[in-house]
Amino acid sequence: MKEIILKPLILILFVIISLQSCDRTDDVLNPAIEVQDFVWKGLNAYYLYQEDIADLSDTRFSSDLQLENYLVGFDTPVDIFNSLKLPSDSRSLLIDDYTNEDIVSPLRSSFTTGMEFGLFKDPNRLDSIIGFVSHILPLSQASTDSIVRGDFFYAIINEEADTIHLKEDNYRALLLSYPQDTLKLLMANFNGDTLIINNQRVDLVKKNYQYPPILLKEVFDLGAKKVGYLLYNNDFSTNYIGDLNATMQEFKNESVNELIIDLRYAIGSYSYARTIAEIASMITGQFPNEILMKETWNEKAQTWFELNQPDSLITKFPSTLQNNETINSLNLTDVYIILNGNGFNGSSALELLINSLQPYINVHVLGNTTKGDNLGSISLYDSPDYDIFNSNLNHTYSLQPTVVTFSNKEDETYETGIIPTIQLCTVEDALNLGELGKITDPLLGEVLQYITTGNTGVTFSCNPFELELIYVSIDSQRLIDKGTFIKQDLPNLGR
């Protein structure tokens, strides 16, 4: 009888012990370091420079316990992230709250008069400066006033009705951060040497303004060549891809066979490789399904993709936008990109577009040498496959590491930059601006001459009076280049 009772008791004890051993606390990650664990594993799996970081090596830790002991040595996720990336890597980011970061970027807007301008030192008056209008934003408040590109101003009237001359120590307060809604400008004429007050005054009122993606578009009939011209105003994000596609249809309807993309007032920032591929297809269209760009990951990830997802390493010319709208293609063999501006050398997204198209068509870069950023990033979340779905609800950290280098179909890259076909003036000549979108605009006129004659020699003087430029409003609006991003399904390497 005792034996019959003892056997069930022993069996129950064995099951309890077995269940306890299956739920050992040493198999559960310490909650205090779960973000550090995510950071290390994400970088170990996909960081482009993983092989160069000793602490990210696959042989660095022989057990989970060793890794955990290493992770507890970092007080914050920022500490371990900074220790694991190359000191020279300024692109990779650790985001502390991806719920803010992943919100769709709003359309570009600001509280502005609509006047873009520059300032240079008055050559004859010590400490005085002169302003010039670089351009007026379409449909802005300034577009309804009697002020145009090429006008000059020298002073403002403040709230107390005093005339205040522009100087190096006051122009920011008077023109950029003034408290009143109305900017009262006193105008003048200037010939490069003498400022002549003309007793004209322009009152500009600040209003909420949403920037159009394209400032203007024109078509030039040059005989056998019909040139579409678009002056682009924003970044190459998905916000404006529909507007670009609609403009290409307009050009297509007018039988455009050459295209100028003027980026002198573009603001840079970021884009996705897919969006750049869509723009490439708008320019071309005669290369459906051919390879446009290639990705190279770190050795571990590259090997996995080559074995399991080889097609994910290439991007082909698409025929539709991501919303399934048909891409309006111009089927061009030549595109001309105006890339000038004070210190402005484009963006990584623009470089990707240029390099990817070069094996297929003639890409003429006009202006500055680009910076040579052939890197791509991705967003990683603390989930089994690094996707935002099923991500760890205990925190809101995400990673945006550099993970790939881009090359074109011929395996050519651009890490040393892209040299322009023609070197244009870095800064527009304030005394010879001409009219935007017309042949009187010296920059546009030079490009049209190049298209017509093939002459690469710059025939106009950039700054004949050697005026010292101290401020250009568009420069202050240019954003830090966040790089080019990719979206890709990832395996749970190391998770």
Domains of the chain (ranges; CATH) run: 30-89 (no CATH), 109-210 (2.30.42.10), 214-462+478-485 (3.90.226.10)
Burial of 31 (0-12, 13-18, 19+ CB in 10 A): exposed
pLDDT tens-place string over residues 401-453: 999 999 999 999 999 999 999 888 888 899 999 999 999 998 899 899 999 98
Quote the CA–CA distance of 231 and 356 in Å, as a whole number: 22
CA distance to 349, 405, 465, 488, per residue, from 375 (Å): 10, 5, 41, 15
State the Cα–Cα distance between residues 6 and 396, nearest whole angstrom: 52
Residue 363 pairs in a beta bridge with 335
55-84: pLDDT as tens digits: 999 999 999 999 999 999 999 999 999 999
What would the pLDDT profile of 188-218 be if each residue is shown by its tens digit?
A: 999 998 999 998 999 999 999 999 989 999 9
Mean of the pLDDT values across residues 18-44? 72
- For residue 284, what pLDDT band results from cuts at 50, 70 and 90? very high
What DSSP string describes 413-444?
Answer: --TT----SB---SS--TT----TTSTTSHHH
102, pLDDT greater than 70:
no
Which ranges of 97-196 would DSSP assign to H, the alpha helix?
98-101, 171
> Considering only CA atoms, which of 117, 114, 115 is closest in space to residue 433?
117
State the residue for tokens 């006033």.
145
pTM for the full predicted model? 0.90
Strand 362-367 versus strand 469-472 pairing type: unpaired
pLDDT of 15 strictly over 60: no
Structure tokens at 394: 């205990």
> Which residues make Cβ contacts (< 8 Å) with residue 97, sequence separation at least 6?
396, 397
- Collect all residues with Cβ–Cβ distance below 8 Å to 172 and sequence separation of at least 6: none
What is the per-residue pLDDT for 163? 95
Q: Is the dihedral of CA 470, 476, 479, 480 positive or negative?
A: positive
Contact 424, 457 (CB under 8 A): no
Q: Dig out the tokens for 101 from the structure.
A: 């970061």
Residue 333: closest CA among 310, 307, 363, 354: 363
- Range picked from 10-24, 41-55, 453-467 for highest mean pLDDT: 41-55
